[in-house]
């Protein structure tokens, strides 16, 4: 319920109080939109001229509506996130530079099509394996490649390193960026 004393308490001045009283507010509910332990917003209900007062059954209905609305909002956000990731994956698949991600444990988690084309090393044989085992000469190459601190930071210049793969020598220009998950490297065949 919204007693007149509450209106007096929240009003900033007499004009504001008069306007609030003219609205005829009598009852109010505000329920959170919660999904996966996160509060996404709220839904507010106000009854005015009708004089209706919300009761426990109204609150239960509002809470159910809020649960369904929260699920819909969360699903929409998840869909948008999935779309963004799909766009990033399409962009990564179409760049000419080889790109790969090595996690904090030294395991290759990503190997793009350009990396496969440049080196001849197939994604199936690389992803999920330790870089030191899957990438010929990686322990020596890794020590020569300086890592930038983050994606937004200007990084060091690319390092040119020779790599021998299946009897052929490649000269790769490679640069790396350190991430929370490990490090991402980009390279091209010179």
52: phi then psi, degrees, rounded to nearest 5: -65, 145
Over the Cα atoms of the chain, what is R_g? 29
Dihedral (Cα; 52, 56, 62, 64), 10-degree rounding: -150
pTM value? 0.59
- The confidence score (pLDDT) of residue 45 equals 92
- The confidence score (pLDDT) of residue 59 equals 95
Half-sphere exposure of 131 (CA within 13 A, CB side): 23
- The confidence score (pLDDT) of residue 63 equals 96
For the chain, what's the residue count?
190
Q: How many CB atoms lie within 10 A of CB 158?
A: 17
- The confidence score (pLDDT) of residue 146 equals 82
From the number of C-beta atoms within 10 Å of its C-beta (0-12, 13-18, 19+), residue 15 rates as exposed
- The confidence score (pLDDT) of residue 26 equals 87
- The confidence score (pLDDT) of residue 154 equals 60
pLDDT, one tens digit for every residue, the chain (190 residues)? 888 899 899 999 999 999 988 888 889 999 999 999 999 999 999 998 777 899 999 999 999 999 999 999 999 999 998 988 888 778 777 788 999 999 999 999 999 999 999 999 999 999 999 999 999 989 999 988 888 875 555 666 788 999 999 888 999 999 999 888 899 999 999 9
- The confidence score (pLDDT) of residue 36 equals 94
């Amino acid at each position: 319920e919204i007693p007149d004393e509450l209106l007096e308490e929240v009003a900033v001045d007499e004009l504001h109080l008069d306007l609030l009283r003219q609205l005829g507010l009598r009852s109010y509910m505000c329920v959170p939109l919660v999904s996966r332990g996160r509060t996404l917003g709220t839904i507010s209900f106000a009854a005015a001229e009708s004089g209706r007062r919300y009761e426990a059954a109204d609150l239960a209905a509002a809470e159910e509506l809020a649960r369904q609305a929260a699920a819909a909002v969360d699903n929409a956000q998840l869909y948008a996130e999935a779309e963004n990731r799909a766009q990033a994956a399409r962009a990564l698949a179409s760049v000419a530079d080889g790109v790969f991600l090595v996690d904090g444990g030294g395991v290759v988690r990503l190997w793009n099509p350009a990396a496969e084309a440049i080196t001849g090393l197939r994604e199936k044989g690389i992803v999920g394996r330790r870089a030191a085992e899957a990438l010929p000469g990686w322990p020596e190459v890794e020590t020569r490649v300086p890592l930038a601190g983050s994606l937004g930071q200007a990084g060091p210049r690319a390092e040119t390193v020779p790599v021998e793969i299946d009897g052929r020598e490649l000269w790769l220009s490679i640069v790396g960026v350190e991430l929370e998950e490990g490090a991402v490297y980009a390279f091209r065949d010179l």
